[in-house]
Amino acid sequence: MDFRNFHNMSVDIRIRKGANIQLKGESEKILSDASTSETFALKPDNFFGIIPRLIAKEGDRIAKGAPVFHSKKDPRILFTSPVSGILKEVIRGAKRKILKIVIEEQEADVITHKITSKSLTRKNINEILLKSGAWPFIKQRPYGIIANPDMTPKAIYVSTYASAPLDVDFQFLLKNNKEDFQKGIDILNKMVEKPVILSVDSTFSGFFENIKGVELLRINGPHPAGNVSVQIHKHSPINMGDNVWEVRPEDVVNIARLFENGQFSAQRTVAVAGESVLHPQYIKTKIGAQISSLTDITGYDKSQQNRFINGDVLSGKIEAADGHLDFYNNLITIIPEGNHYRMFGWLPFMDNKIPSLSKTSLSWLFGKKGFSVDTNMNGEERAFVVTGEMEKVFPMDIYPMQLIKACMAGDIEKMEALGIYEVIPEDFGLIDYSNTSKIEAQEIIREGIELMIKEVG
Amino acid sequence: MNFLRKKLDDLKRPFGKGQKWERYAPAVNAFDTFLFVPNHTTHSGAHIRDAVDLKRTMVTVIIALLPVLIYGIYNTGYQYLIQIGEAFTFWDAFIHGALKIIPMIVVSYVVGLTIEFIFAVYRGHEVNEGYLVTGLLIPMIMPVDIPLWMVAISVAFAVLIAKEAFGGTGMNILNPALTARAFAFFAYPTYMSGNKVWVSEASNIEGISGETILGTLAAGGNINYGFLEMFQGSIPGSIAETSALFVLIGAAILIITGVGSWRIMLGSILGAGFVGYLFNLWGANALMSFSWVNHLVVGGFAFGVVFMATDPVSAAQTNKGKWVYGILVGMFCILIRVFNPAYPEGVMLAILLMNVFAPTIDHYVIQGNINRRKKRWASAFKTV
């Protein structure tokens, strides 16, 4: 439907539970171009629940936008090359699982799809998104997997509020893409029965508020307020059988580009942030680019061991320094590794420079200018003992500990009743961080969701 | 520090992965991690972690217990020496108490930790820190003259039956420390109740009366202690239960650090105060007309609700559940005190009883959440 003349509705949502962890190394508002990335990579693991079937093989010449693999379950869902070049290598892990498909960039063809812009229907749009490889830009709830092309969503959410530590400012990141963003919203609006729901950080105003044809959610509150799960839960919670879609802001732009020139657009603007980064800033590149093409520009402290994270410190994925950018993230975080001992560090009020949500630390007195963090566990995993702490950082009407326990027990009925349809692992990032017993909540929820997909579908 | 670290790493080598003594690693790690927070880094999930861990949490509880313990040691000596009638100093009293109590603490830790270590090695997990608190609580809630072998047997019973049989730390239904006390109470009643056990040496020396206030009231006697004495705690009783003042200091530490649930503590006070007040109105016997304010400061009530009812594993786990649980602990405590003169101290049984019902309370709280969700599903389904 065309909601261009739809009078923008706006809803204020206030979130109280959660926490902002201020870290050192925030990106400066500078936008540069990446240095040359010789190779680009696609990683099937970026797509939760997808089992890849390769279409191209090593040594093949690949056009930009040509399919590299498809989903085993649904061959219509294609994953296409962000650049033209040669398929250099398929890196496999245990049991020949495909970890990475590396494409060396070279001059070659570009695949262009025919767009008849006058008569774009939902069906046309679906078709073009699927065959161009842009469909994976759309993720769905429940489960946070790539959307099912056969479903009509109850709503589409686009969250421009990134609340995780060191996360990006989409107002800045997309400042040169305002028109494309509007066009992308218009296209998405043709796929749903009601206008796209665009959420913004209520404490900043910018061009997103002038976007037409959307329902505006003004979100106020600490992380995880920027997570779409939390926003959906506060706005219009997911019921059993509901299908809700999520598109990331830059991918709204990528979709608009696709419908302008018929070519798969893989633009990715990435903030490289974190204490180890010498000149943290925003860099424009493409999906799957080499991390080194970004760190060439920003630099990082090579005198120490560092952890490279595709994404934020709470939910991102570990990556090698010579690795590649993931598919969805707009953030690379680099922080020091923490493989050191701390004498008597378990005493209350010791080492207050480590950020802590617990009052057994005086860390709240420190960190005005941001905390230094490393990857130390600060303890060891223990049995569940402390209660009530997970609820403090989980702003949904869901009992997180009980849901985690239901997932550990693999009790599907209980998981369903306790709200598994409304959450994705990322929503438990702060719980991972703050829980006393060092329980790996995100991993448990991920396994729980895998079980749901397998048993319920 | 580096020298010490290197020495430790050398010592630990035979316990490493694939080495000869690998299966005993949890026992060695338990000591090592008391010196150093290990160098483990995050491997999945969040890449950064909070500074808090279970060790820090449990040590906070121990810190909160110390003021009560120190006063309890002093009071043990004080109750004895004041009845002997000789002049004495603070240190006389403190040393008398320390000589009685420190051996109990040692026995409790040695027996309890030995069992914990054996189970950790047997099950192949690290030693959980929970027993550090339990092991200190057990001697603190015993009568001072209980023989050490009874402490040992009570500890063994509590750790084996109340904790490890249910799967270890985090899995137990009953509070282990109270289970130890309840075991001793029913197994050795002559050492755990009556008017000869609550003051040091009362059973050996003629003329020393060792009756608690609640015991006196239950027997229909009159008490000659003022509110301030009861609040400060210079009265006979289990080692650490007598001083509401020092328990309040501990409560403040637990609440400020967020380690103990203020909901449970406040709920218990409200529940006990309410029932105590109702009985005051009724006033049929000495215990009923005992002021509800005094009920809050005598006996083990304050100690029990601050340090035992708040045990997160055996208490209710939801915030709403904690209110209900706390209020019921308080109500049952006074009910047991007043209606059952055989057990003038009601708080132990009240907490154990509510430990059993805590999962039921949580069940209804969570069922409420589930019903809300299902109702939403149903109404959404109708509008489609």
Alpha carbon distance B330, A100 (integer Å): 61
Whether residue B380 lies inside any domain: the answer is no
Same domain flag for B168 and B200: yes
CB A100 within 8 A of CB A91: yes
A 159-218: CB under 8 A from B: 165
Helices and strands in chain B, H and E counts? 17, 1
In whole angstroms, give the CA distance from residue A326 to residue A332. 9
DSSP A312-364: -TTT-EEE-TT-B--SS-SEEEEEE-----EETTTSTT--TTS--SSTTS-GG
Residue A309 forms contact with B (CB below 8 Å): yes
Handedness of CA B121, B123, B126, B131 (dihedral sign): negative
DSSP letters spanning B110-137: HHHHHHHHHHHHHHT-PPPTHHHHHHHH
Best of B50, B55, B261, B311 to substitute, by most chain A Cβ atoms within 10 angstroms, is: B50
Reported confidence tier of residue B190, pLDDT bands at 50, 70, 90: confident
pLDDT of A10 reads 87
The tens digit of pLDDT for each residue in A131-155 reads: 999 999 999 999 999 999 999 999 9
State the Cα–Cα distance between residues B149 and B191, nearest whole angstrom: 12
In the predicted model, what is the mean pLDDT of residues B82-111?
A: 92
Q: Which tokens is A240 given?
A: 């059993």
Higher-confidence residue of B280 and B85: namely B280
Same domain, residue pair B61 and B31: no
Numbers of helices and strands, H then E, in chain A: 10, 21
Pairing of strands A306-310, B36-37: unpaired
Percent of chain B past pLDDT 90, that is, above it, reads 61
Residue B127 lies in a domain: yes
At A288 the pLDDT is: 96
* Nearest Cβ partner for A356 among B33, B51, B55: B51
Kindly determine whether residue B5 and residue A433, on different chains, have CB atoms separated by under 8 Å. no
Q: How many residues are recorded in chain B?
A: 384
Inside any domain, residue B48: no
CA distance B94 to chain A (A): 27
Q: Considering only CA atoms, which of B54, B75, B10 is closest in space to residue B247? A: B75
Closest residue on chain B to A358 (Cα):
B52
| pLDDT higher at B298 or A311 | A311
- Check if the beta carbon of residue A421 is closer than 8 Å to that of residue A456: no
Residue B7 and residue B115 in one domain? no
Both tokens assigned to B19: 């080495």
Q: Which pLDDT value is given to residue A160? A: 96
> Which of helix, strand or coil describes residue A130?
helix
A411 neighbourhood in chain B, CB within 8 Å: none
CB contact under 8 A, B126 and A382: yes
Whole-angstrom Cα distance, residue B226 to residue B233?
Answer: 11
B48·A318 Cβ contact <8 A? no
pLDDT average, residue stretch B205-212: 76
**Maximum pairwise Cα distance, chain A:** 70
What's the length of chain A? 457
Q: Looking at residue A5, what is its pLDDT?
A: 59
* Mean pLDDT of the region B164-187: 93
Q: Position B77: which residue type? A: G
Q: How far is A340 from chain B (nearest CA, A)?
A: 4
pLDDT average, residue stretch A81-103? 95
Please give the pLDDT value at position B222. Answer: 79
Q: What is the pLDDT of residue B218?
A: 80
Query: Are residues B30 and B164 located together in one domain of the fold?
Result: no
Are B182 and B125 spatial neighbours (Cβ–Cβ below 8 Å)? no
Shortest CB distance from A375 goes to which of B48, B57, B261?
Answer: B48
Is B50 within 8 Å of A378 when comparing Cβ atoms?
A: yes
* Residue A325, both tokens: 């950018």
User: Are the beta carbons of B380 and A242 separated by less than 8 Å?
Assistant: yes
Q: What is the pLDDT of residues A105-117, one digit of tens each?
A: 998 889 999 887 6
Q: Decide if B297 contacts B231 (C-beta within 8 A).
A: yes
Instruction: Looking at the structure, give the CATH architecture of the domain made up of residues A9-23+114-261.
Output: 3-Layer(aba) Sandwich (3.40)
> From the CA of A177, how many Å to the nearest CA of chain B?
32
Q: Which of residues 44-103 of A touch B (CB under 8 A)?
A: none
Q: What is the pLDDT of residue B1?
A: 64
Q: Is A378 on the interface with B (CB under 8 A)?
A: yes
Task: Supply the pLDDT for residue A201.
Answer: 94
Q: Mean pLDDT for chain A?
A: 94
Determine, for residues A375 and B258 on separate chains, whether the beta-carbon distance falls below 8 Å: no
Query: Comparing A103-112, A403-412, B313-322, which segment has the lowest mean pLDDT?
Result: A103-112
Q: Are residues B29 and B111 in the same domain?
A: no
Question: How far is A41 from B199, CA to CA, in rounded Å?
Answer: 77
Residue B378 above 60 pLDDT? yes
Residue A349: pLDDT above 60?
yes
Please name which of B244, B221, B367 lies closest in space to residue B299, comparing C-alpha atoms. Answer: B244
Select from B34, B46, B318 the Cβ nearest to the Cβ of A399. Answer: B318
> Mean pLDDT throughout B7-32?
84
DSSP state letters, A18-62: -----BS-PPEEEEEEPPPPSEEEE-GGGSTTPPEEESS-TT-EE
- Cα B263 vs. chain centroid, distance in angstroms? 17
Contact flag B36-A343 (C-beta cutoff 8 Å): yes
Cis peptide bond N-terminal to A224, omega within 30:
yes
Predicted confidence (pLDDT) per residue in A262-287, tens digit: 999 999 999 999 999 999 999 999 99
Amino acid in the structure at residue A190: K
Does the pLDDT of residue B221 top 80, yes or no? no
pLDDT tens per residue across span B23-75: 888 888 888 888 888 999 999 899 999 999 999 999 999 999 999 999 999 99
CATH 3.40.50 in chain A, residues? 9-23+114-261
Nearest to B170 by CA among A445, A448, A439: A439
Domain A39-105 grouped into CATH 1.20.140: no
**CA-CA distances (angstroms) from residue A88 to A40, A79, A105, A151?**
10, 17, 9, 36
Calpha distance A412→A421 (Å, rounded): 11
- Give residue A4's pLDDT: 60
Q: What is the model's pLDDT at position A369?
A: 86
- How far is it, in rounded angstroms, from Cα B16 to Cα B5? 15
- Which range in A195-209, A292-306, B118-132, B287-301 is most confidently predicted, on average pLDDT? A292-306
Q: Which one has a higher pLDDT value, A164 or A205?
A: A164
Nearest to A433 among B46, B261, B370 (CB): B46
Instruction: Kindly report the number of other CB atoms within 10 A of residue A396's CB atom.
Output: 22
At A272, which amino acid appears? V
Q: Are strands A244-247 and A138-141 parallel, antiparallel or unpaired?
A: antiparallel
For A95, A120, A337, B138, the CA distances from B248, given in Å and listed in that order, are: 60, 71, 42, 19
Query: What is the structure's pLDDT at B384?
Result: 58
Instruction: Give the mutation candidate from B5, B37, B58, B375 for the A interface (greatest A CB count, under 10 A).
Output: B37
User: What number is the ipTM of this complex?
Assistant: 0.93
Would you call A401 an interface residue with chain B, using a CB distance cutoff of 8 Å?
yes
Nearest to A385 among B258, B312, B372 (CB): B312
Establish if B376 belongs to a structural domain.
no
pLDDT over 90 at A289, yes or no = yes
Residue B180 has pLDDT above 70, yes or no: yes
Mean pLDDT of chain B: 90
Question: Has residue A7 got a pLDDT over 70?
Answer: no
Interchain proximity A342–B126, CB inside 8 Å? no
Please report the pLDDT score of residue A338 as a whole number: 93
pLDDT of residue B286: 80
Q: What is the pLDDT of residues B246-259, one digit of tens each?
A: 999 999 999 999 99
Residues 6 or more apart whose CB falls under 8 angstroms from that of A300 comprise: A276, A277, A278, A306, A334
Give the pLDDT confidence score for residue B360 in this predicted structure: 97
Per-residue pLDDT band at B18 (split at 50, 70, 90): confident
**Which residues of chain B make contact with A340, given a CB cutoff of 8 A?**
39
Q: Which residues of B touch A372 (CB under 8 A)?
A: none
Q: If we measure between CA atoms, which residue out of A194, A218, A74 comes closest to residue A145?
A: A74
Q: Are B299 and B247 in contact (CB under 8 A)?
A: no
- Edge-first strand listing for the sheet containing A267-273: A28-33, A281-286, A267-273, A331-336, A306-310, A317-319
Same domain, B28 and B135: no
Asked if A314 and B317 come within 8 Å (Cβ–Cβ), the reply is no
Which pLDDT tens digit goes with each residue over B365-377? 999 999 999 999 9
pLDDT score of A93: 94
> Which residues in chain B are contacts of A240 at CB distance < 8 A?
377
Q: Do A386 and B381 touch (CB under 8 A)?
A: no
Among candidates B109, B141, B100, which has minimal Cα distance to B307?
B141
Instruction: List where CATH 2.40.50 sits in chain A.
Output: 39-105
DSSP 8-state class, residue A245: E
Contact A375 B36 (CB under 8 A): no
**DSSP SS3 for A146:** strand
B12: domain range? 2-35
How many domains does chain B divide into? 2
What is each CA distance from B283 to A207, B28, B271, B338, B341, in whole angstroms? 72, 59, 18, 11, 15
Give residue A103's pLDDT. Answer: 97
Nearest to B81 by CA among B195, B203, B224, B201: B201
Distance linking the first and last C-alpha atoms of chain A: 29
The pair of three-digit structure tokens given for residue B186, joined into one six-digit string: 């029913």
State the pLDDT at residue A2.
60
> What is the DSSP secondary-structure string of B310-378?
T-TTTS--SHHHHHHHHHHHHHHHHHHHHH-TT----HHHHHHHHHHHHHHHHHHHHHHHHHHHHHHHH
Choose the mutation target among A385, A405, A423, A430 for the interface with B, i.e. most B CBs under 10 Å.
A385
Nearest-CA distance from B367 to chain A in Å?
A: 9
Residue A344, chain B, CB below 8 Å: the answer is yes
If residue B293 lies in a helix (H) or strand (E), which one and from where to where? helix B292-297
User: Where in chain A is CATH 3.10.20.600?
Assistant: 268-349
CB A266 within 8 A of CB A83: yes
- pLDDT at res. A8: 67
Q: Give tens-digit pLDDT for A416-445.
A: 999 999 999 999 999 999 999 999 999 999
Compute the Cα dihedral for B166, B309, B368, A235 and give only its sign. Answer: negative
Report helix, strand or coil for B6.
Answer: helix
What residue of A is the nearest CA neighbor of B120? A382
Architecture of A268-349 per CATH?
Roll (3.10)
Distance from CA of A38 to the nearest CA of B (A): 29
Task: Please name the residue ranges forming H helices in B46-129.
Answer: 54-84, 90-123
Q: For B89-98, B234-243, B314-323, which range has the lowest pLDDT when averaged over its residues?
A: B234-243
Give me the total of CB pairs closer than 8 Å, taking one residue from chain A and one from chain B: 219
CA angle, residues A388, A390, A393, in degrees to nearest 5: 115
Asked whether residue A1 carries a pLDDT value surpassing 60, the answer given is: no
A243 touches chain B (CB under 8 A): no
For residue B50, which residues of chain A lie inside 8 Å, CB to CB? 354-358, 378, 433-436
Q: Which of A310-324, A360-374, B64-78 shows the lowest mean pLDDT across its residues?
A: A360-374
Per-residue confidence band for A23, with pLDDT thresholds at 50, 70 and 90: very high
Residues A169, A159: Cα–Cα separation, whole Å: 11
User: Cis (ω within 30 of 0) for the bond into A142?
Assistant: yes
The beta-carbon neighbor of B54 closest among A318, A361, A436 is A436
Q: Which of A244, A387, A414, A416 to mutate to probe the B interface, most B CBs <10 Å? A: A387
Note whether B133 and B30 are same-domain residues.
Answer: no
**pLDDT > 90? residue A260:** yes
Beta pairing, strands A28-33 & A281-286: parallel
Mutate to test the interface with A, among B9, B52, B319 (most CBs of A within 10 A): B52
pLDDT surpassing 80 at residue B220: no
Q: How is residue A7 annotated by DSSP?
A: P
DSSP single-letter state for residue B162: I
User: Is B40's CB within 8 Å of A335's CB?
Assistant: no
Residue B51 lies in a domain: no
Q: How high is the pLDDT of residue A457?
A: 78
Predicted pLDDT of residue A117: 65
Closest residue in A to B36 (Cα) is A343
Nearest CA in chain B to A442: B45
Residues B123 and B7 grouped into a single domain: no
Which chain A residue has the Cα nearest residue B362? A402
Instruction: Please indicate whether, in this complex, the C-beta atoms of A313 and B49 are within 8 angstroms of each other.
Output: no
Give residue B124's pLDDT. 84
